[in-house]
Amino acid sequence: MNENDLHAQREATAIQYFRLVDAADPALLELFADDAQMFFPKFGTAKGLAQIGAFAQGFARGIANIEHDIAHFNVLTSGDYVVVEGAVKGETTSGVEFPDGSSTFGLFCNVFEFQGEKIKRLHIYEDPDFAGTHTDGASWGQSVRDSM
């Protein structure tokens, strides 16, 4: 497989990751190398397939549905890395729809590092407060917006 084909395969795997997350499909773990690592804010780092699977199950307990706007992703590939910037919407299991457009915006950036065709490392950068309930930590933002 030449470098262009490998980059295309890696981008396809990154996009497939989001499709599988949206479907809550356990086949998601098949995209990862056995010793993969994954980081998520307010969670930390999961190491290996068992921990990544446990994270996914825990995450799913709080989300009734989730949908990534795959058609409008920005995808950048360089070497062993694929970076995906995009937006997500959904609903928590408590019935709160996200994003709300005032304190939650549904924007994220994921950095995938590949080893061959498998995800070796994934860092997810997004606000884990989908429901906008962690207002104490972001109250300064509202006061600044109000003064603008």
Each residue's pLDDT expressed in tens, for the chain with a length of 148 residues = 788 899 999 999 999 999 999 999 999 999 999 999 999 998 899 999 999 999 999 988 889 999 999 999 999 999 999 999 999 999 999 999 999 887 788 999 999 999 999 999 999 999 877 777 766 655 545 555 566 5
pLDDT score at 7: 94
138 residue type, one letter: A
Cβ neighbours of residue 66 closer than 8 Å, sequence gap 6 or more: 21, 22, 88, 89, 90
- Expressed in angstroms, the distance from the first to the final Cα of the chain is 53
Half-sphere CA count of 12, side-chain side, radius 13 A: 7
State if pTM tops 0.75. Answer: yes
pLDDT score at 133: 73
Q: SS3 letters for 98-113?
A: ECCCCCCCCEEEEEEE
Is 1 in a helix, a strand, or coil? coil
pLDDT score at 21: 96
C-alpha dihedral (68, 70, 76, 77), degrees to nearest 10: 100
